[in-house]
Structure 1
Amino acid sequence: MASLSGSILRQPSFANYWVSRILTSISFQMLSVAIGWQMYALTHDAFSLGLVGLAQFVPMVLLTLVVGQVADRFDRRRIVNVCQIIEALTAGLLLYGSVAGWLSKENILVAAAILGACRSFEGPASSALLPQLVPKKILQQAIAWTTSAGQTAQIVGPSLGGVLYALGPASVYITVTIALLVSTILTFFIRLERTFQRSSEPVTLRSMLMGLVFVYRHKVILGTISLDLFAVLLGGATALLPIFAQDILHTGPLGLGLMRTAPAVGALIMSMVLAYYPLKKAFGPILFGALGVFGLATMLFALSTNLIISLVALLIIGASDVVSVVIRSSLVQLQTPDEMRGRVNAVNSLFIGTSNQLGEFESGTLAGLIGTVPAAFIGGVGTIVVAGLWMLLFPSLRRIRSLSES
């Protein structure tokens, strides 16, 4: 199976898809760094930084029902292509505005909103496209490879964005523009292994809500998606890393950088392991076991006063999270019909985005009320409690042995 997994990257279409995802994800990370720095340089206002995040998040919420409908009615490759082109043009305008000197707070917020809207369309279409590129028997490995692309972006993107920004924001924007154009070309030349039956029903409120209805009716998928929402919502200790670095571990900016990188490194290592050695049985128990490890590692991180122990805990957090991500993503993709994947992936994207955003808010609020260490520790306990509750509420998910089970 390891040789079969390795051969995935020798398939031109999947290789194009994989490299394109790396370039697009790194570009988005770099843009986030540059836009944030530039906004603060222009305004010296923390509230304006919050508005940048809000401008990117709001389109995802407002467009959830629309983007899924689009992904189930049109060529998913072309949807991704159009989004990449618009993102490249947006980066190009940010480049021009920086060089010409007319870039303002309002311009940056508009750019952030456009990027957020593009990501809203691109995410579900790209996720729904993956099962059309590889045989079902190696979809788990393909998801692991795709996850590795995202983790690589999280490691490389912010650092590269910061280094290039030191040379000026224009250097970031020109790099991102080129990367997105290359990504666009790679996506254009993707060839599908199989097509899907596009939805032909009229566009109505009912058809737009079908993704939510499908998720609600299929308990394995409902349990899978909601488990991600609540587990990540409670276990978001990484949002508190600056406080741990400065006040608890006393490591300064270097230690903070290492801690921010550690979960992505752990996730990248585990995603590569799963790409070559995919899980074969007991998927339900492994899923809940991974969440238990995630919670325990979060508790260890909360109690640690040693940088090495904290880094090890963060590595385990990233690695265990990827195990559950690959299982959950595989279940959603394999148990959703082709013609529904866009709408179901749109719902999934909303849950993931909401859990990440609200998880940071929950961690920060709880830390403000009871302290940083107790908040992080309770978050780890909460993840384990959620895993236990979901084992009781969704026994079909707990008992699942094969990714093709319904």
Structure 2
Amino acid sequence: MTAHALPTHPLHVPNFRAYLVGRLCAVLAQYSMMIVLGWQAYNIARETMTTSGASAQLGLIGLAQFLPLFFLTPVTGWVADHYDRRMITRLTLTLLAISAGLLAFATFEGWISLPLIFGIAVIVGIARAFNGPAYGALAPNLVPREVLPNAIAISSVVWQTGSIVGPALGGYAYAATPWGAYALASGLFGIALFAMLLIGPVPQPARDMTRHPIRQMIDGLTYVRGNRLVMATITLDLFAVLLAGATALLPVYARDILHVGSAGLGHLAAAPGIGAGATALWFSFRPMKSEVGLKMLGAVVLFGLATIAFGCTAFMPRSIAIEAGIAALIVLGAADMISVFVRQSLVQLHTPDAMRGRVSSLSQLTISASNELGEAESGFLAALVGPIAAVIGGGIGAIIITIIWARLFPELRLARTFDPPDIREAHNSQEKPV
């Protein structure tokens, strides 16, 4: 019997294609919901509160989504390493689709309220806490190791594209009809669920039955602390984006600074997606292969500069402010794509499969901290010092953090390729003349 030839590209694997469709739809739905939740909560709050008080509601929305992730991270990573990752994603996608559908119905019927929005935000945070590690750790189980780097790169690009295009999608949908934005998110979660149902049986990581589950939960943190390159890439994104959370204040800029309304919010939210999409397209033709650490550091600096530029649109004439803001956000999205692409690839390729769920849960925690907790920080800081100072100061902070991290973690500066040390040594030994 002739053995089947191994696929030469991850897109040749049907399970991986279904995974990508599901992941893209889930991330689009998730991030479109996040922008709509913030916009709707801000509008409801502005009916009875000042701009500062309503800005604080944006911070509370981010906090409501972050706290479940923070408290559940040790458990969710362990679950992803010990149970069928496909089943975990299916159950959580079902819960997310129902949550979005409930918000659509409440908005359509006119009984949407801040308590309901905050309650659903907590449920979404719980679902994402379990969904993220399972999704992130599943991709390497779907393809042969020979094409695993490409699979991780493509998955990272899909995730980042969805996370930046999603807010634009939500903003445009909300401008058309508020309840339709949630209905769209619910439908996308449903498509993601269907795609995950198409994935057949996959290899499961070996379970360690000799050690206590709590000890195994701690192992993920121990591994990250011991691998300085993984820790550097995870924490750099955490602190940089935590400070430079310009997108969290887009509702404030759209309504009260640039005065462009919900349609303008859609334009602003779409801008990072344009930059990210163009960068992803470039990577599909010219994948990054060298000096990956330096390029990540440079991308985070550029991210901070673009954040400062966006904040300064408040001082520009209205005739050019919106165009300048869109341009700054396009650059911000491109820089963010480069940073996340490098981080996700390094983390996945430097982590053994039996540990990927726990490491992915920690990575997700830092991503959520930089997004949801960053929203909270930006909202509360905007309430204290004003949204303009919050955005500009956040961009400056991101640049300072990058400079500090380049000094603290020389491993990041010296990371030339995505390959782990053992694979690099094998390549080098093969290239040496006999």
Alignment partner of 1:278 is 2:280: no
Aligned residue in 1 for 2:426: none
Provide closer, same or farther for how the CA distance between residues 51 and 319 of structure 1 changes in structure 2, counting only shifts above 3 A: closer
* Map 1:85-234 → 2, pairs under 5 A: 85-92=94-101, 109-134=118-143, 135-138=147-150, 139-165=152-178, 169=179, 175-191=184-200, 195-234=204-243
TM-superposed deviation, 1:175: 4.7
Provide the secondary structure at the position in 1 that maps to 2:351. Answer: coil
Provide the rounded CA distance (Å) in 2 between the counterparts of 1:206 and 1:221: 21
Asked whether the 8 Å contact 1:81–1:188 carries over to 2, the reply is yes
Provide closer, same or farther for how the CA distance between residues 19 and 164 of structure 1 changes in structure 2, counting only shifts above 3 A: farther
Provide the rounded CA distance (Å) in 2 between the counterparts of 1:272 and 1:379: 29
Provide closer, same or farther for how the CA distance between residues 188 and 253 of structure 1 changes in structure 2, counting only shifts above 3 A: closer
Alignment partner of 1:388 is 2:403: yes
Equivalent AA in structure 1 for residue 19 of structure 2: Y
Structure 1 gaps, min length 5: none
Provide closer, same or farther for how the CA distance between residues 396 and 97 of structure 1 changes in structure 2, counting only shifts above 3 A: closer
Equivalent AA in structure 2 for residue 345 of structure 1: S
* Map 1:11-22 → 2, pairs under 5 A: 11-22=13-24
Provide the rounded CA distance (Å) in 1 between the counterparts of 2:194 and 2:235: 36
Which of these residues, 54, 68, 79, is aligned with residue 70 of structure 1?
Answer: 79
Provide the rounded CA distance (Å) in 2 between the counterparts of 1:286 and 1:399: 11
Provide the rounded CA distance (Å) in 2 between the counterparts of 1:64 and 1:106: 25
Which of these residues, 393, 413, 425, is aligned with residue 378 of structure 1?
Answer: 393
Which of these residues, 318, 337, 353, is aligned with residue 333 of structure 2?
Answer: 318
Alignment partner of 1:397 is 2:412: yes
Q: Percent identical across equivalent pairs?
A: 38
Deviations 1:281-302 (A, max 9, x none): 1111111111122222223333
Asked whether the 8 Å contact 1:199–1:339 carries over to 2, the reply is no
Provide closer, same or farther for how the CA distance between residues 378 and 34 of structure 1 changes in structure 2, counting only shifts above 3 A: closer
TM-superposed deviation, 1:91: 4.3
Aligned residue in 1 for 2:365: 350
Provide closer, same or farther for how the CA distance between residues 354 and 150 of structure 1 changes in structure 2, counting only shifts above 3 A: closer
Larger deviation, residues 35-44 vs 384-393: 35-44
Deviations 1:46-68 (A, max 9, x none): 58776554443321112111100
Deviations 1:143-186 (A, max 9, x none): 22332233332332332244243xxx3x5555544443332221
Asked whether the 8 Å contact 1:262–1:311 carries over to 2, the reply is yes
Aligned residue in 2 for 1:297: 306
Provide the rounded CA distance (Å) in 1 between the counterparts of 2:388 and 2:287: 36
Alignment partner of 1:330 is 2:345: yes
Provide closer, same or farther for how the CA distance between residues 100 and 230 of structure 1 changes in structure 2, counting only shifts above 3 A: closer
Provide closer, same or farther for how the CA distance between residues 372 and 141 of structure 1 changes in structure 2, counting only shifts above 3 A: same
Provide the secondary structure at the position in 2 that maps to 1:281. Answer: coil
Provide the rounded CA distance (Å) in 1 between the counterparts of 2:109 and 2:255: 38
Equivalent AA in structure 1 for residue 295 of structure 2: I
Matched residue pairs, number? 398
Provide the rounded CA distance (Å) in 2 between the counterparts of 1:85 and 1:319: 32
Asked whether the 8 Å contact 2:149–2:349 carries over to 1, the reply is no
Provide closer, same or farther for how the CA distance between residues 176 and 388 of structure 1 changes in structure 2, counting only shifts above 3 A: closer
Deviations 1:8-27 (A, max 9, x none): 44532222112112222333
Equivalent AA in structure 2 for residue 87 of structure 1: L
Asked whether the 8 Å contact 2:58–2:376 carries over to 1, the reply is no
Larger deviation, residues 362-371 vs 76-85: 362-371
Q: What TM-score results when the alignment is normalised by the length of structure 2?
A: 0.80
Provide the rounded CA distance (Å) in 1 between the counterparts of 2:325 and 2:37: 30
Provide the secondary structure at the position in 1 that maps to 2:82. Answer: coil
Larger deviation, residues 238-247 vs 302-311: 238-247
Provide the rounded CA distance (Å) in 1 between the counterparts of 2:238 and 2:376: 14
Asked whether the 8 Å contact 1:60–1:350 carries over to 2, the reply is yes
TM-superposed deviation, 1:395: 0.6
Aligned residue in 1 for 2:93: 84
Larger deviation, residues 275-284 vs 143-152: 143-152
Provide closer, same or farther for how the CA distance between residues 17 and 235 of structure 1 changes in structure 2, counting only shifts above 3 A: same
Provide closer, same or farther for how the CA distance between residues 187 and 246 of structure 1 changes in structure 2, counting only shifts above 3 A: closer
Alignment partner of 1:261 is 2:276: no
TM-superposed deviation, 1:378: 3.1
Larger deviation, residues 42-51 vs 302-311: 42-51
